[in-house]
Structure 1
Amino acid sequence: MRARNESAWLIPADQRRVNHALRESMRRYDETDEVDLVVVGCGAGGSTLMQRMARHGWKIVGFDAGPFWDPEQDWVSDEAGSHTLYWTEPRTIGGADPVPLGSNNSGRGVGGSMVHYAGYTPRLHPSDFATATNDGVGADWPLDYDDLDPYYRLIEQELPVAGQDWPWGRPHSYPQTAHPVGGNGEIFQRGAAALGIETRVGPVAISNGRFGHRPHCIYRGFCLQGCKVNA
């Protein structure tokens, strides 16, 4: 697991600060330098692509409109004080008949929406790949669950994902056990049990305990406002 997520060990062992030296030591290029890849947007997709290709020796430049955030200094346990995390600029699909996408909250800064992401990481149900065939809506995917299954397993190990064994669709387990539920979750579970409905604690990409030098979750409850402890 460490070989796939060396970044978890790059965080300072005392866990009380961000390792700013990692930013300072990043490779930089002059405007006249030739590079292999330019990525616009350093969110979940862009950042991961850059990491993977850099491991293969590619020269990569990433552009992002927002800053590098420092959880210890920049994030607070207050919804109103966290609005600087949000990117709420209007978005429009172009073309002859432009379509406004409405308000959004996709994240501003390096990391994109991942900086205020609650971590929920479910797999698609096998039937989701063929909604046109099964339900007469949408379009069938050009691949099926079995095509993605090995990649689900790899990313769940790397993040890692914590959750209860999943009995629906294609039964599977997760690398780490589920986090404890809070009061609202317990009430929901009791109500579902009284109605004969089976429930599970959903999978989240939040380590249940120490993972490398990354701090563990303290159940602060402000995932959507940025994790101040950097878990």
Structure 2
Amino acid sequence: MGNLSAAFISDLVRPSLWRDAAVGSLLVGALAGTLYTLAYFESGPSSPGTEAVLLKSALSLVLTGSALLGSFAFTSAFRTGSLHLRVLLFQRIPAFAARAGSTMVAASALGVATAELCAALGALVSGTTGIHAPGVFAATGCMGAAWGYSIGSVVRNHQVSLFLVPLTLVLPGLAAQLMQEAGQFVFPLAAADWADRAILSQPASWSLLTSLGWLATVGAVALGVFTKRDLA
């Protein structure tokens, strides 16, 4: 337990963690702002669909951006060799879990920053903040980071994960059209459904449980692979 706490604290104060989170926030915010502006000028200020477009697109961007942040948190450390040093200092499981936890914290901050941007854009364009749910955005970022970190730790390749991680979030949505009702039980769709409902204060316990089940399964597989696989 002491190793885990020490590893988590040392991970949490890494400048690169917050630098990457800040860059991710800027990119996600810029894309969300662009989509909001386009939706506003196309639909007009009185259209009730404008804010819905913003929130759905922003949540999707937060999930994808956080997944990439989580993936790179592992692959960059593996590529530079800093992960090997952390394993020597804290042992495998604490090093793995601490890096995952600190990245989820940073991704939560990314989500909150995006939520605040959405509120600011709403106030600027329509004179009202509308729906303001930073907690939902933070949770979405946390889930995205956990997913991306698990995938990245299995893939290990920095360049491959750049394309593979977004694919794992996009392809299930395409496959869901063929799977029909069963498609709602894949991770990205379940997470998106929970976020859409939670932001409107609607019950969606099955979506949340499905998302957490996927994250627990993928995380357990990733941890198992990491503990058994050679670090070379």
Please identify which structure carries the higher helix content. 2
TM score, norm. by length of structure 1: 0.25
Answer with 1 or 2: which has the greater Rg: 1
TM-score by length of 2: 0.25
